[in-house]
Amino acid sequence: MNPFKTIFLDRDGVINEDSPDYIKCWAEFHFIPGSLDAVARLTRSGLTVIVITNQSAINRRWVSVTELETMHRRLRQAVLDSGGRITDIFYCPHLPDEGCGCRKPKPGLIFAARDRYGIDLSSAVMVGDSVKDILAGQAADCGRTVLVQTGNGMTAIQALEETGQRPDHVAADLDRAAQWILDRPGSHP
């Protein structure tokens, strides 16, 4: 029996390169090497892949909802062209000080995905590059959390160690995280 059914992926710093200036258009969207293949391998193994991402650039008025949705449509197509599938993308448009329940580290986006798709969160893995990603996965009671060292991953490791909040696994990138997920006992159908 496959221990994992759903893989939640952060976007910036996990699938694509992050930027302190935010990703505001497709021209600024650059895939991290190996990320497309990683999503394809997860998909081919029968896992559902859902993106969970904070996108405060919307409420900062640096990117429109239309532009964000265009980027996400192109992201999904690039993944499809590589043999993978992203089932859905959930995003939070709010600023950190707006206090919404959907902005990571709060688990609202994960709960929204759970409710829409009937996901058993104990069989889900949250993969991210930041403290917020790991805390959101833990707050949602995901079965596992994986921190990747791309994006903000290196600073997140230190911050998590200081607070005692540790991910279940640390991987160099999404490609290695996918391999760790697929190598778990019983992971292959």
Backbone φ/ψ region at 177: left (φ over 0), alpha (ψ -120 to 50), beta: alpha
Collapsed DSSP state (helix, strand, coil) of residue 161: helix
Residue 47 burial (CB < 10 Å; 0-12/13-18/19+)? buried
Bridge partners of 12?
16
3-state helix, strand and coil shares in percent for the chain, rounded to the nearest 5 = 40, 15, 45
Distance in angstroms (rounded) separating the CA atoms of residues 119 and 111: 9
Active site residue 133: no
Whether residue 10 lies in the annotated active site: yes
Angle at 143 between CA 93 and CA 167, to 5 degrees: 75
Give how far the C-alpha of residue 126 lies from the chain's centroid of Cα atoms, to the nearest Å: 6
Which residue blocks in the chain are alpha helix, DSSP H?
35-44, 65-81, 108-117, 131-139, 153-163, 174-182
Catalytically annotated residues: 10, 12
